Amino acid sequence: MIAFDGPAVLPDFLPGADFSALRQDVLNLSGAERSYVPLHKKGGTIAYSTIRRLAPGLAEFYHSRAHRQAVSEIAGVVLEPTPPSDESSLSILIYERPGDHIGWHYDHNFYRGRHFTILLAIENRGHGTDGLSASRLLVKDGDAERVISTAANTLVVFEGARVLHKVTPIEDGERRVVLSMTYCTDPRNSAVREIARRVKDTAYFGPRVLWS
Protein backbone atom coordinates (compact mmCIF):
# COMPACT_ATOMS: atom_id res chain seq x y z
CA MET A 1 0.00 0.00 0.00
CA ILE A 2 1.27 3.48 -0.86
CA ALA A 3 1.41 5.64 2.24
CA PHE A 4 -0.61 8.82 2.10
CA ASP A 5 0.11 11.65 4.48
CA GLY A 6 -0.99 14.60 2.36
CA PRO A 7 -2.08 17.20 2.39
CA ALA A 8 -3.96 16.92 -0.87
CA VAL A 9 -5.46 20.28 -1.86
CA LEU A 10 -8.41 20.54 -4.25
CA PRO A 11 -9.59 24.07 -5.12
CA ASP A 12 -13.20 24.50 -6.35
CA PHE A 13 -14.06 21.08 -4.95
CA LEU A 14 -17.87 21.23 -5.19
CA PRO A 15 -19.98 22.45 -8.12
CA GLY A 16 -21.00 26.07 -7.58
CA ALA A 17 -24.65 25.47 -6.72
CA ASP A 18 -23.84 22.60 -4.35
CA PHE A 19 -21.22 24.66 -2.54
CA SER A 20 -23.54 27.66 -2.23
CA ALA A 21 -26.24 25.51 -0.61
CA LEU A 22 -23.76 23.87 1.77
CA ARG A 23 -22.21 27.23 2.61
CA GLN A 24 -25.61 28.69 3.47
CA ASP A 25 -26.37 25.78 5.79
CA VAL A 26 -23.08 26.37 7.61
CA LEU A 27 -23.41 30.14 7.88
CA ASN A 28 -27.00 29.89 9.11
CA LEU A 29 -25.83 28.04 12.21
CA SER A 30 -25.18 29.85 15.46
CA GLY A 31 -24.21 28.86 18.96
CA ALA A 32 -20.49 28.33 18.54
CA GLU A 33 -18.68 27.27 21.70
CA ARG A 34 -15.66 29.46 22.37
CA SER A 35 -12.53 27.76 23.63
CA TYR A 36 -9.23 29.10 24.86
CA VAL A 37 -6.12 27.11 25.74
CA PRO A 38 -3.35 29.54 26.76
CA LEU A 39 -0.44 29.63 24.30
CA HIS A 40 -2.12 27.04 22.07
CA LYS A 41 -5.57 27.85 20.69
CA LYS A 42 -8.46 30.28 20.66
CA GLY A 43 -11.56 30.13 18.50
CA GLY A 44 -15.14 29.02 18.04
CA THR A 45 -16.46 25.53 17.31
CA ILE A 46 -19.90 24.13 16.48
CA ALA A 47 -20.12 20.47 17.49
CA TYR A 48 -21.49 17.47 15.64
CA SER A 49 -24.47 17.11 17.99
CA THR A 50 -25.52 20.70 17.26
CA ILE A 51 -25.10 20.20 13.52
CA ARG A 52 -27.19 17.02 13.55
CA ARG A 53 -29.97 18.83 15.40
CA LEU A 54 -30.01 22.14 13.53
CA ALA A 55 -28.51 21.41 10.11
CA PRO A 56 -29.17 17.77 9.22
CA GLY A 57 -28.27 18.44 5.58
CA LEU A 58 -24.64 18.88 6.63
CA ALA A 59 -24.70 15.52 8.39
CA GLU A 60 -26.20 13.96 5.26
CA PHE A 61 -23.34 15.41 3.22
CA TYR A 62 -20.77 13.99 5.66
CA HIS A 63 -22.34 10.52 5.45
CA SER A 64 -23.20 10.61 1.75
CA ARG A 65 -21.86 7.80 -0.38
CA ALA A 66 -20.61 10.21 -3.02
CA HIS A 67 -18.56 12.27 -0.58
CA ARG A 68 -17.13 9.24 1.21
CA GLN A 69 -16.14 7.76 -2.14
CA ALA A 70 -14.49 11.02 -3.21
CA VAL A 71 -12.35 11.36 -0.08
CA SER A 72 -11.54 7.63 -0.13
CA GLU A 73 -10.19 7.98 -3.65
CA ILE A 74 -8.06 10.94 -2.60
CA ALA A 75 -6.68 9.08 0.44
CA GLY A 76 -6.23 5.81 -1.45
CA VAL A 77 -8.05 3.79 1.22
CA VAL A 78 -11.70 3.10 2.05
CA LEU A 79 -12.84 5.59 4.68
CA GLU A 80 -15.76 5.37 7.10
CA PRO A 81 -17.33 8.11 9.26
CA THR A 82 -16.14 8.27 12.84
CA PRO A 83 -18.82 7.70 15.53
CA PRO A 84 -21.61 10.19 16.33
CA SER A 85 -20.36 10.33 19.94
CA ASP A 86 -17.20 11.98 18.61
CA GLU A 87 -18.07 15.69 18.42
CA SER A 88 -15.12 16.23 16.06
CA SER A 89 -16.49 13.79 13.47
CA LEU A 90 -18.23 16.76 11.87
CA SER A 91 -17.68 20.23 13.24
CA ILE A 92 -17.44 23.85 12.18
CA LEU A 93 -14.31 25.80 13.05
CA ILE A 94 -14.73 29.57 13.28
CA TYR A 95 -11.91 32.11 13.39
CA GLU A 96 -13.46 35.57 13.71
CA ARG A 97 -12.02 37.37 16.72
CA PRO A 98 -8.56 38.95 16.64
CA GLY A 99 -5.99 36.37 17.63
CA ASP A 100 -8.12 33.28 16.97
CA HIS A 101 -5.66 30.52 16.03
CA ILE A 102 -4.34 27.07 16.88
CA GLY A 103 -0.68 26.24 17.43
CA TRP A 104 1.40 23.40 16.07
CA HIS A 105 -0.26 20.05 16.71
CA TYR A 106 -1.12 16.60 15.41
CA ASP A 107 -4.71 15.32 15.28
CA HIS A 108 -4.61 12.42 17.72
CA ASN A 109 -5.91 9.10 16.42
CA PHE A 110 -8.02 7.24 18.98
CA TYR A 111 -9.25 4.56 16.55
CA ARG A 112 -7.94 1.22 15.34
CA GLY A 113 -7.64 2.34 11.74
CA ARG A 114 -5.89 5.25 10.04
CA HIS A 115 -7.52 8.57 10.79
CA PHE A 116 -7.94 11.34 8.21
CA THR A 117 -8.83 15.01 8.58
CA ILE A 118 -10.84 16.62 5.77
CA LEU A 119 -11.29 20.39 5.74
CA LEU A 120 -13.67 22.23 3.42
CA ALA A 121 -13.20 26.01 3.49
CA ILE A 122 -16.58 27.71 3.69
CA GLU A 123 -15.58 31.35 4.09
CA ASN A 124 -12.23 33.09 4.13
CA ARG A 125 -12.18 36.85 3.80
CA GLY A 126 -9.74 39.40 5.05
CA HIS A 127 -7.19 42.09 4.34
CA GLY A 128 -4.68 40.12 2.28
CA THR A 129 -3.85 41.10 -1.29
CA ASP A 130 -5.57 37.86 -2.30
CA GLY A 131 -8.67 38.86 -0.33
CA LEU A 132 -8.01 36.13 2.24
CA SER A 133 -7.57 36.45 5.98
CA ALA A 134 -4.29 36.29 7.88
CA SER A 135 -5.53 32.96 9.29
CA ARG A 136 -3.45 30.57 7.20
CA LEU A 137 -3.12 26.78 7.44
CA LEU A 138 0.54 25.81 7.72
CA VAL A 139 2.05 22.32 7.62
CA LYS A 140 5.57 21.16 8.36
CA ASP A 141 7.38 19.81 5.29
CA GLY A 142 10.65 18.57 6.74
CA ASP A 143 12.25 21.62 8.29
CA ALA A 144 10.24 24.00 6.11
CA GLU A 145 6.74 25.39 6.61
CA ARG A 146 4.25 25.12 3.76
CA VAL A 147 1.25 27.42 3.45
CA ILE A 148 -1.94 25.67 2.34
CA SER A 149 -4.38 28.00 0.62
CA THR A 150 -7.89 27.69 2.03
CA ALA A 151 -9.91 29.93 -0.24
CA ALA A 152 -13.62 29.16 -0.14
CA ASN A 153 -14.57 25.75 -1.62
CA THR A 154 -11.04 24.34 -1.20
CA LEU A 155 -10.86 20.78 0.15
CA VAL A 156 -7.80 19.70 2.13
CA VAL A 157 -7.20 16.03 2.98
CA PHE A 158 -4.43 14.78 5.24
CA GLU A 159 -3.62 12.21 7.89
CA GLY A 160 -3.60 14.44 10.92
CA ALA A 161 -1.68 12.07 13.17
CA ARG A 162 1.25 12.22 10.73
CA VAL A 163 1.16 15.85 9.58
CA LEU A 164 2.20 18.60 11.98
CA HIS A 165 0.04 21.64 11.29
CA LYS A 166 -1.17 24.97 12.71
CA VAL A 167 -3.44 27.93 11.89
CA THR A 168 -2.00 31.43 12.22
CA PRO A 169 -3.90 34.17 14.10
CA ILE A 170 -6.68 36.03 12.37
CA GLU A 171 -6.82 39.84 12.38
CA ASP A 172 -9.53 42.31 13.30
CA GLY A 173 -12.36 42.47 10.76
CA GLU A 174 -11.53 39.11 9.15
CA ARG A 175 -13.40 35.80 9.17
CA ARG A 176 -12.49 32.20 8.32
CA VAL A 177 -15.00 29.34 8.60
CA VAL A 178 -14.11 25.71 7.94
CA LEU A 179 -16.22 22.55 7.81
CA SER A 180 -14.06 19.91 9.49
CA MET A 181 -14.69 16.20 8.94
CA THR A 182 -12.90 13.10 10.19
CA TYR A 183 -12.95 9.63 8.68
CA CYS A 184 -11.21 6.39 9.59
CA THR A 185 -10.33 3.08 7.93
CA ASP A 186 -11.57 1.31 11.09
CA PRO A 187 -13.60 3.49 13.48
CA ARG A 188 -13.62 1.01 16.35
CA ASN A 189 -11.79 1.90 19.56
CA SER A 190 -11.27 0.62 23.08
CA ALA A 191 -12.90 1.90 26.26
CA VAL A 192 -9.60 3.43 27.34
CA ARG A 193 -9.13 5.23 24.02
CA GLU A 194 -12.72 6.47 24.13
CA ILE A 195 -12.13 8.05 27.52
CA ALA A 196 -8.91 9.63 26.26
CA ARG A 197 -10.72 11.02 23.22
CA ARG A 198 -13.43 12.60 25.37
CA VAL A 199 -10.84 14.20 27.64
CA LYS A 200 -9.10 15.67 24.56
CA ASP A 201 -12.40 17.07 23.25
CA THR A 202 -12.98 19.08 26.41
CA ALA A 203 -10.50 21.61 24.96
CA TYR A 204 -12.97 22.26 22.12
CA PHE A 205 -16.42 21.52 23.50
CA GLY A 206 -16.14 21.80 27.27
CA PRO A 207 -16.63 19.20 30.03
CA ARG A 208 -20.06 18.10 28.72
CA VAL A 209 -18.32 15.74 26.22
CA LEU A 210 -17.14 13.56 29.10
CA TRP A 211 -20.62 12.11 29.47
CA SER A 212 -22.55 13.08 26.31
3-class SS letters over 155-203: EEEECCCCCCEEECCCCCCCEEEEEEEEEECCCCCCHHHHHHHHHHHHH
pLDDT, tens only, 80-129: 999 998 999 999 999 999 999 999 999 989 899 999 999 999 999 999 99
- % of the chain beyond a pLDDT of 70: 87
Give the closest residue to 79 by CA, choosing from 54, 62, 60, 95: 62
- What pLDDT shows up at residue 202? 58
Is residue 60 very low, low, confident or very high in pLDDT (cuts 50, 70, 90)? very high
Query: Does residue 166 sit within a domain?
Result: yes
Q: How would residue 204 be classed by pLDDT, with cut points 50, 70 and 90?
A: low
pLDDT class of 194 with cuts at 50, 70, 90: low
Residue 132 to residue 151: CA distance in whole angstroms: 7
User: Which has more pLDDT, 81 or 200?
Assistant: 81
pLDDT at 1 over 50: no
Residue 128 lies in a domain: yes
CATH code for the domain of 91: 2.60.120.620
Phi, psi of 72, deg, nearest 5: -65, -40
Q: Is residue 100 part of a domain?
A: yes
Q: How many domains does the chain have?
A: 1
Q: Would 212 be classed as within a structural domain?
A: no
Instruction: Give the residue from 12, 3, 8, 10 showing the smallest Cα distance to 158.
Output: 8
- Residue 102: inside a domain: yes
75 occurs within a structural domain:
yes
Chain mean position to CA 59: 14
pTM listed for this prediction: 0.88
Domain that holds residue 90: 14-206
- Do the domain assignments include residue 91? yes
